[in-house]
A and B are shown apart, each in its own frame.
Chain A
Amino acid sequence: MQKVKTVLLVDDDQDFRIQQKIMLEAMNFNVIEADSGSAAISLLENNNPDIAIVDLMMEEEDSGFTLCHNLKKRLPEMPIIMVTAVASETGLSFNVKTREEHRWIKADALLEKPIRAEQLQKEINRLLQG
């Protein structure tokens, strides 16, 4: 039997966490949650997540970016999916496809809120296989 993989879910929006958790558990993942960057980092002391889902816009505007850097420093192999409502809210649009973008944004995939289960499943599968 395959080992159950653990997802680290970081978002300051309680409802978004509840929704993601339900989706992820339906996909047979184990979910650990944090409502801030610092809470996420302290979770790493006793957990070893296989993948992280991080909200870009948390209380401190760029804390998603900062957290990605910090997570990659500790767990360089762990893929990170960054989720954001940023494009629909600020009109700001960016991606993590080019090398230049990858230098600055330490996430492996970017998903726009609202997130559909199939979309999430697809990204996770891709990143965990790769």
Chain B
Amino acid sequence: MSFLKVLVIDDEPGMRMGVERTLDGEKLEFFGTDLVEVSVASAGTGAEGIEKINSDGFDILFLDYKLPDMNGLEVIEALGDRAKDLIIIMITAYASIEVAIDATKKGAYDFLPKPFTPGELKIVTKKAAERILLARKNEQLAHEKKQVRFEFIRVLGHELKAPLAAVEGYLDLMESKTLGENIESYEKILKRSSVRLNQMRKLIVDLLDMTKIESGKKDRKLVELNLREVAENAIELAGPSALARKIKIELDSPEKLVMKADSGELDMIFNNLVSNAVKYNRDEGKVMVRLEKLEEQIKIQVSDTGIGMTEEEQKKLFKEFSRIRNAKTADILGSGLGLSILKRLVELYEGEILVDSVPDQGTTFTLIIPNKE
């Protein structure tokens, strides 16, 4: 439960008591779930009210226009920046358009003409409270978003630092000639250094891709593409690494399967799927790429005969930097961003990704994308 602090500044004791009696201890309900308890304090003069606001802090201020020591507008002026943290509701029997405009200009949020009923007071309070609660919620959301961002940067920093540390370590060994004068003795550590640097490059490229997807929607150019051709390109690109490990890639697709999409994005989707299917395959394994036109959707399916995943591993699959680390993946290079990029891309097309995987048998990724022709 959260709390809402209300202050009444009015020189009439009856008015102060009335507001206290109506609102103090009142529990307001918002958005079906949030319960807010109201507490009320009061002041009889402008000066007393200002002092209370400065020392205690309030959320809502019911402010009488005509006070013994100053008028309501002067109170708002005297509050200065403090007024911005308050929802100010003017209460006055002398409501005139001029006063209303002036007060609003100075930061008043609402008006409550005297005399008012407890019901009217509650309605005005509830309206103001709703605004405060929304602001609080937005603040919280912004805070959470910032936290997610920080966490991402923290992990990213770690992922970028790790390969640097590894290469640095190898350079130290070379510098101190730990393995002697013969350059050939250093073959293994030179190879590991270049592996780690390649991994770092891949991470940076993936990161740039991801940033492009998130920021560059204006650069999207949706044109009619033949998915078969996109798939063929991706297969060709994965060719050399598949050949090196005797992995066969097959394509099952109609001659023409047209979809309106951005060609760069679609390349990324297919390259991602096909290269993963090769990377996580066993030697002499198989990759099957299937394209199918359903009634109002397009189905893209890529299966491999590789190492597969447990259900536990599948759950972490699309989270940034959550590379599945086990003995089987230890020597496979990856940035840990590939699948979160894939997910973001598929979301751009309002599609969904289904994963079906059996450890040591293989994995099938199925993309279902609405076909908007």
CA–CA, A85 to B172, complex, Å?
A: 17
CA–CA, A114 to B175, complex, Å?
A: 15
B contacts with A: majority SS: helix
Q: Which residues of B contact A19 (CB under 8 A)?
A: 166, 169-170, 172-173, 189
Q: Are B192 and A18 in contact (CB under 8 A)?
A: yes
Chain A 6-22: CB-based contact to B (< 8 A → 1; otherwise 0): 00000011111011001
In the assembled complex, how far is the CB of residue A95 from the closest CB belonging to chain B, in whole angstroms?
22
In the assembled complex, how far is the CB of residue B106 from the closest CB belonging to chain A, in whole angstroms?
47
Chain B 7-29: CB-based contact to A (< 8 A → 1; otherwise 0): 00000000000000000000000
For B161, give the chain A residue with the smallest CB separation: A89
For B178, give the chain A residue with the smallest CB separation: A26
Select which of A22, A89, A116, A117 is within 8 A of B189 by beta carbon: A22
In the assembled complex, how far is the CB of residue A58 from the closest CB belonging to chain B, in whole angstroms?
10
Residue B1, interface by CB 8 Å: no
Residue B330, interface by CB 8 Å: yes
Q: Which residues of A contact B325 (CB under 8 A)?
A: 12, 59
Residue B218, interface by CB 8 Å: no
Q: Which residues of B contact A85 (CB under 8 A)?
A: 165
Residue B168, interface by CB 8 Å: yes
Select which of B170, B176, B178, B179 is within 8 A of A15 by beta carbon: B170
Q: Are A18 and B172 in contact (CB under 8 A)?
A: no
For A89, give the chain B residue with the smallest CB separation: B158
Residue A97, interface by CB 8 Å: no
Assuming the contacts A16-B166, A117-B178, asked whether A22 and B173 have C-beta atoms less than 8 A apart, the reply is yes
CA–CA, A69 to B192, complex, Å?
A: 32
Residue B196, interface by CB 8 Å: yes
Residue B188, interface by CB 8 Å: yes
Q: Which residues of A contact B188 (CB under 8 A)?
A: 18
In the assembled complex, how far is the CB of residue A34 from the closest CB belonging to chain B, in whole angstroms?
12
Q: Which residues of A contact B170 (CB under 8 A)?
A: 15, 19
CA–CA, A23 to B179, complex, Å?
A: 9
Residue A113, interface by CB 8 Å: yes
Q: Are A15 and B166 in contact (CB under 8 A)?
A: yes
Number of interface residues of B (CB under 8 A): 18
Q: Which residues of B contact A12 (CB under 8 A)?
A: 325
Q: Which residues of A contact B173 (CB under 8 A)?
A: 19, 22-23
Assuming the contacts A22-B189, A26-B179, asked whether A114 and B330 have C-beta atoms less than 8 A apart, the reply is no
CA–CA, A114 to B365, complex, Å?
A: 40
Chain A 42-56: CB-based contact to B (< 8 A → 1; otherwise 0): 000000000000000
In the assembled complex, how far is the CB of residue B222 from the closest CB belonging to chain A, in whole angstroms?
43
Q: Are B169 and A16 in contact (CB under 8 A)?
A: yes
Q: Are B165 and A22 in contact (CB under 8 A)?
A: no
Assuming the contacts A22-B179, A114-B172, A117-B178, asked whether A15 and B192 have C-beta atoms less than 8 A apart, the reply is yes
In the assembled complex, how far is the CB of residue B195 from the closest CB belonging to chain A, in whole angstroms?
9
Chain B 321-349: CB-based contact to A (< 8 A → 1; otherwise 0): 00001000010000000000000000000
Q: Are A116 and B172 in contact (CB under 8 A)?
A: yes
Assuming the contacts A114-B168, A114-B169, asked whether A22 and B192 have C-beta atoms less than 8 A apart, the reply is no
Q: Are B196 and A15 in contact (CB under 8 A)?
A: yes
Q: Which residues of B contact A89 (CB under 8 A)?
A: 158
In the assembled complex, how far is the CB of residue B333 from the closest CB belonging to chain A, in whole angstroms?
12
For B189, give the chain A residue with the smallest CB separation: A18
CA–CA, A74 to B169, complex, Å?
A: 32
For A59, give the chain B residue with the smallest CB separation: B325
In the assembled complex, how far is the CB of residue A11 from the closest CB belonging to chain B, in whole angstroms?
12
CA–CA, A93 to B170, complex, Å?
A: 26
Chain B 165-206: CB-based contact to A (< 8 A → 1; otherwise 0): 110111011001011000000001100100010000000000
Q: Which residues of A contact B162 (CB under 8 A)?
A: 13
CA–CA, A59 to B188, complex, Å?
A: 25
- Enumerate 6 A-B pairs (CB-CB under 8 Å) in ascending A order: A15-B170, A19-B170, A22-B178, A26-B178, A26-B179, A35-B330
- 5 shortest A-B CB distances, which residue pairs? A15-B166, A19-B169, A26-B178, A22-B178, A22-B173
On B, residues with C-beta under 8 Å from A are: 158, 162, 165-166, 168-170, 172-173, 176, 178-179, 188-189, 192, 196, 325, 330
